[in-house]
């Protein structure tokens, strides 16, 4: 990364008007305008941190992760302890103080209790922990598989490309959820990591196509030709020259895969192929309590709201990253 | 073109073979089909095991079983399930149920998604743009079955409760009038004052309409009077004209209005057919009205505007037809919990045509809506991005500079090009919609391909699962081929 930073800094220093206004920040110093060069990474970071929606989403997401991992151990009830039902297990959380005048309060069981008296706040946090792990592992693994296969295919072309892409074509004819269901039926429900691997195996296809297209266009660029003329090996060209330029697409697809993985996990849970045993995930909570909707709606609402919030935040972050890496596609008026 | 299609079809065969082999492998390793019998206490368990071994071909090796299954498929025999029922027959029933759902959901999401996508691209950075983009992001983040359960609760149970004693609160009326007012404000082009005016008028119209509806208990006994049908039809006629020419063009507007009037008169003349039609009669009426629209358009349009006037006439008749059908629909409405939560239709229902239709619709609407949400979000986002790209291109600017009407520039020049990437997404999304259908069917208790697949998977019953996978992969390959052929049709450069 340092070499790349250096490269860009030099270009901007030597020929500022060639680089374009985007690369240069104008700042006021002692009543005079001086030109401060920014590296590409600084520019991307700046654009991302200025994306308001993405920042809000990032804050919310970080807060939820902290709540799940720090909040659960600190909370007075463990997630697997059953107890006596109080007030029919109704939630005691009061977020709208002006309705009944009790003021903002958490109460004994903020999200209520489930049918056998477990504290549902603890259960939901446990579910969120598991879902976050599954989604992150699945999303990153799928990105890794898709990137490696897409990169090989786009860089080497020829037989490698044909073999990999025909395989992707074949996989595309099978609905992915169903591959996951079949694999989950065989290997699943013993550990959340196996579940994550199954989800990853079923969701890398689109990524590989995107990365392949990216590599195919990047490998024809002049700087790749120059590097090759200087005698750079394929490995060096891929890692030093192409990868840094493809990182935008990779990061954006990774975030989208993570948010998709949460939904796939939910769907698998609904089909009875999700997290097994007495453990929880958000998807398992929703599918377990879907019939309780009329009698105990909170058992259905809370995990659902968590799923939607997490997925929505990740999608918005992905959108902010896309804007940061590729300002041409910006959604908000400049 | 013919050879292009032929080649495209031939490429599909090896892909289909490979994918069926892969699927057969996956299904074979998914579990032991004899698991339940091995634990059985039944005295004749050995016989049962032997029978099932024989039925499912378990004595042979993997490759022999695959070849057997494949040659069965070529003969049109999909094998048997564990109980010895023919999978072909099961699959046939399941397919009609599921495809009804998938096709309607796909069409709904394509139409709404593309329309909203175009509108948001043309009115970039408007309220509508921001709110529908947010909606799309929200829909991307919703688990399909969570939505389905919510729809069941609020779209069916609560809505039916509401219809048994309908009444709008003042707050409800206010909200229902403000939303269209904001929409009109966002959609109208031009200066701020003009847009505010349009918003205010729309809001007022909705306010008055809703107050009348509420005061007259219209929702207990819905139906459109001939006067309302005529007025709405006239509006449809003018609207159709606006699609094809600027409203200053008198001839085209006249074509729309006259067609609408002819349509209303025609619907009165054929009222006995319309009130209890058969499918043939309905089709005949549709063709007849299209022809009428075209004839009226070409007579009124004169030489210069003939093309626009004919299109206007045809679209106006379609619009009038929809109004008339809508009238029949709501007239057949009985407030007896029509929005259903279970199954694809009321079993053994007999009655007039429209009563049966509204029963279908009441069962179909919620699952289709739950499914359509995902597709809608995808199609809307892609149409918007792709339209923004083409709207910025040089040839669109040229077309505008030549003074072509805005609708023509958007629909003919920009949209046609923008459609190409959208079509790719549509064909890819069909897979997602079928996956979603498996889940939605389960929530709404439809006995379709979804239950065939899931029950088969849970019972380790290989052939129903294979049947499902084969049908879906054929559909997906077919959709891909259709997309390629459509590209070649839209973009001649691809026809190599």
Contacts of A169 in chain B (CB under 8 A): 15
Tokens of B324: 């008339």
Residue with more model confidence, B16 or B1: B16
**Does residue B119 surpass a pLDDT of 80?**
yes
- Side-chain half-sphere CA neighbours of B197 within 13 A: 6
Tokens of B252: 């085209």
Is A304 in contact with B472 (Cβ distance < 8 A)? no
Q: Please, what is the angle between helix B462-490 and helix B449-458, to 10°?
A: 140
**Residue pLDDT, tens place only, B308-353:** 888 888 999 999 989 988 888 888 777 666 777 777 777 777 778 8
Task: Check: CB of residue B359 under 8 Å from CB of residue B345.
Answer: yes
Q: Compute and round to an integer the Cα radius of gyration of chain A.
A: 25
The Cα–Cα gap between B438 and A95 comes to: 37
Portion 123-152 of B in contact with A at CB < 8 A:
125, 133, 137-138, 140-146, 149
**Rama region for B124: left / alpha / beta (φ>0; ψ in -120 to 50; rest):** beta
Interface ipTM above 0.85: no
**Does residue B276 surpass a pLDDT of 60?**
yes
**Does residue A54 surpass a pLDDT of 70?**
yes
Contacts of B31 in chain A (CB under 8 A): 185-186
The Cα–Cα gap between A174 and B18 comes to: 11
Nearest-CB residue to A267 (from B141, B144, B453):
B144
**Residue pLDDT, tens place only, B411-424:** 888 998 888 888 88
Contacts of B143 in chain A (CB under 8 A): 263, 266-267, 270, 283, 286, 304, 307-308
Portion 274-333 of B in contact with A at CB < 8 A:
none
Min distance B238 CA to chain A CA atoms (Å) = 34
| B440 lies within 8 A of chain A by CB | no
Nearest-CB residue to B125 (from A178, A272, A333):
A333
Residue with more model confidence, B460 or B21: B21
Is B469 in contact with A174 (Cβ distance < 8 A)? yes
Is A174 in contact with B442 (Cβ distance < 8 A)? no
Nearest-CB residue to B457 (from A169, A181, A308):
A181
Contacts of A185 in chain B (CB under 8 A): 30-31, 457-458, 460
| B22 lies within 8 A of chain A by CB | yes
Burial environment of residue B373 by CB neighbours within 10 A (0 to 12, 13 to 18, 19 or more): buried
Tokens of B211: 């107050």
**Residue pLDDT, tens place only, A221-257:** 999 999 999 999 999 999 989 998 888 889 989 998 9
Lowest-pLDDT choice from A64-73, A129-138, A284-293: A284-293
- The overall average pLDDT reported for chain B is 85
Those residues whose C-beta lies under 8 Å from the C-beta of residue B215, and which sit 6 or more positions away, are none
Is A293 in contact with B431 (Cβ distance < 8 A)? no
Q: Are strands A32-37 and A24-29 parallel, antiparallel or unpaired?
A: antiparallel
The Cα–Cα gap between A185 and A203 comes to: 17
């Amino acid at each position: 990364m340092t070499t790349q930073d250096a490269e860009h800094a030099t270009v901007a220093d030597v020929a500022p008007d060639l680089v374009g206004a985007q690369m240069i920040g104008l700042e006021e110093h002692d009543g005079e305008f001086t030109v401060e060069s920014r590296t590409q990474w600084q520019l991307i970071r700046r654009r991302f941190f200025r994306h308001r929606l993405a920042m809000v989403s990032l804050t919310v997401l970080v807060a939820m992760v902290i709540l799940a991992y720090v909040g659960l151990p600190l909370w007075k009830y463990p997630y697997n302890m059953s107890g006596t039902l109080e007030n029919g297990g109704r939630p005691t959380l009061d977020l709208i103080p002006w309705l009944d005048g009790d003021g903002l309060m958490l109460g004994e069981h903020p999200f209520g209790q489930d049918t056998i008296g477990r504290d549902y706040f603890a259960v939901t946090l446990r579910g969120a922990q598991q879902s976050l792990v599954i989604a992150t592992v699945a999303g990153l693994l799928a990105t890794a598989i898709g990137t490696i296969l897409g990169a090989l295919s786009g860089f080497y072309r020829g037989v490698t490309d044909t073999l990999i892409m025909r395989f992707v074509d074949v996989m595309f004819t099978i609905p992915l959820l169903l591959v996951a269901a079949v694999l989950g039926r065989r290997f699943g429900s013993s550990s959340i990591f196996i579940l994550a691997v199954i989800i990853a195996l079923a969701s890398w296809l689109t990524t590989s196509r995107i990365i392949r297209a990216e590599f195919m266009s990047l490998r024809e660029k002049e700087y790749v030709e120059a590097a090759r003329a200087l005698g750079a090996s394929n490995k060096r060209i891929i890692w030093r020259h192409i990868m840094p330029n493809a990182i935008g697409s990779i990061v954006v697809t990774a975030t989208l895969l993570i948010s998709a993985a949460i939904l796939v996990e939910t769907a698998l849970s609904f089909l009875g192929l999700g997290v097994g045993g007495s453990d929880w995930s958000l998807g398992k909570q929703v599918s377990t309590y879907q019939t309780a909707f009329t009698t105990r709606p909170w058992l259905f609402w809370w995990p659902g709201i968590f799923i939607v919030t997490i997925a929505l935040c990740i999608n918005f972050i992905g959108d902010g990253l896309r804007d940061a890496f590729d300002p041409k596609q910006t959604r908000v008026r400049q | 073109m013919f050879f292009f299609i032929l080649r495209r079809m031939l490429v599909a065969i090896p892909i289909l073979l490979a994918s069926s082999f892969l699927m057969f492998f996956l299904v074979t390793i998914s579990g032991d089909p004899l698991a339940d019998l091995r634990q059985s206490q039944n005295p004749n368990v050995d016989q049962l095991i032997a029978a099932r071994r024989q039925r499912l071909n378990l004595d042979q090796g993997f490759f022999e079983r695959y070849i057997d299954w494949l040659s069965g498929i070529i003969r049109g025999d999909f094998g048997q399930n564990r109980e010895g029922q023919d999978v072909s027959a099961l699959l046939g029933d399941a397919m009609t149920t599921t495809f009804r759902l998938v096709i309607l959901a796909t069409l709904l999401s394509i139409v709404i998604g593309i329309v909203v996508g175009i509108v948001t691209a043309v009115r970039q950075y408007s309220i509508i743009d921001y709110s529908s983009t947010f909606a799309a992001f929200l829909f991307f983040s919703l688990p399909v079955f969570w939505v389905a359960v919510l729809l069941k609760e609020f779209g069916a149970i609560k809505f039916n409760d509401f219809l048994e004693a309908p009444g709008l609160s003042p707050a409800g009326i206010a909200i229902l009038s403000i939303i269209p007012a904001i929409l009109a404000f966002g959609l109208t082009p031009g200066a701020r004052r003009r847009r505010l005016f349009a918003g205010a008028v729309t809001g007022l119209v909705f306010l008055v309409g809703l107050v009348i509806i509420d005061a007259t208990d219209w929702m207990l006994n819905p139906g459109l009077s001939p006067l309302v049908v005529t007025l709405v039809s006239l509006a449809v006629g003018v609207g159709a004209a606006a699609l094809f020419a600027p409203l200053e063009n008198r001839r085209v507007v006249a074509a729309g209005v006259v067609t609408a009037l002819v349509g209303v008169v025609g619907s009165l003349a054929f009222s006995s057919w319309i009130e209890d039609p058969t499918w043939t009669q309905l089709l005949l009426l549709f063709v007849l009205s299209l022809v009428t629209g075209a004839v009226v358009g070409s007579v009124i349009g004169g030489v210069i505007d003939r093309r626009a006037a004919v299109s206007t006439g045809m679209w106006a008749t379609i619009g009038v037809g929809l109004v008339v059908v809508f009238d029949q629909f709501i007239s057949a409405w009985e407030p007896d919990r029509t929005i259903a939560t279970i199954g694809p239709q009321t079993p053994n229902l007999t009655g007039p045509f429209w009563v049966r239709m509204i029963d279908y619709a009441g069962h179909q609407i919620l699952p289709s809506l739950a499914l359509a949400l995902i597709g809608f979000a995808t199609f809307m986002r892609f149409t918007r991005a792709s339209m923004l790209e083409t709207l910025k291109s040089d040839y669109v600017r040229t077309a505008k500079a030549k003074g072509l009407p805005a609708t023509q520039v958007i629909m003919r020049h920009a949209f046609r090009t923008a459609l190409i990437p959208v079509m790719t997404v549509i064909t890819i999304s069909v897979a997602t919609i079928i996956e979603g259908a498996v889940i939605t069917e389960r929530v709404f208790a439809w006995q379709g391909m979804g239950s065939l697949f899931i029950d088969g998977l849970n019972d380790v019953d290989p052939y129903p699962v294979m049947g499902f996978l084969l049908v879906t992969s054929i559909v997906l390959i077919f959709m891909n081929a259709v997309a390629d052929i459509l590209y070649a049709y839209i973009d001649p450069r691809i026809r190599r």
